[in-house]
Structure 1
């Protein structure tokens, strides 16, 4: 479980990250990331709709994505807000595949907004 300080919780924060962040897609998920500055903790939010599957399947996907986020938090404890949208194919993906997709998309998004000098999405 991610601590409260590391969760995107409000609709405003979700929409800001999705609209202002860099987008990176893989087979099983779409990841949006926005730089928040070095003084703020990294936060993660998840969107897993009914198109992914029934409640049991959606919760399994969310638990796997939360675990991937917790491991990413060790590498990037500050400076990024991330929203992950699971695609329907995530329901049939195993843990290694979902984890590698998450890491690949996160690295791609962070690289993109770092290239911009951290300006994109900083103006809250």
Structure 2
């Protein structure tokens, strides 16, 4: 289970991360990420809509996503807000496929965020 300090809970935080952050889509999930202050704890939010399946299927998907994200929080404890949106394919996907999609998407999101934070060199001629 994710501690409360590592959860995105407010609608405004979800909206900010989804609208102004970077995006990485995979077969089973879409991940959105945004940088926060370097001393703020990393937080994770989940969007698992009714299009994923019935309540049992949605809860299974959420448990799997929480498990993967709990592993990720241990290695990235500060500086990121991430929202994971489950796609309908995630309900029928194997655990390994979901894990691979989430970890691959997270790597892409972090890479895009870190690349966007690198300042341009002044006086550079293009």
Root-mean-square deviation (Å): 1.1
Matched, 1:12 2:9: no
Change (3 A) 1:74 1:118: farther
Matched, 1:72 2:68: no
**Which consecutive aligned stretches of 4+ in structure 1 deviate over 4 angstroms post-superposition?**
none
Per-residue CA distance 1:36-63 (angstroms, 9 max, x = gap): 0210000000000000000000000000
Q: How many residues align?
A: 119
SS for the counterpart of 1:77 is coil
Change (3 A) 1:50 1:118: farther
Structure 2 gaps, min length 5: 120-126
TM-score scaled by structure 2? 0.92
Structure 1 gaps, min length 5: 120-124
CA distance in 2, matches of 1:101, 1:75: 18
Change (3 A) 1:34 1:49: same
Per-residue CA distance 1:7-26 (angstroms, 9 max, x = gap): 00000000000001100000
TM-score scaled by structure 1? 0.93
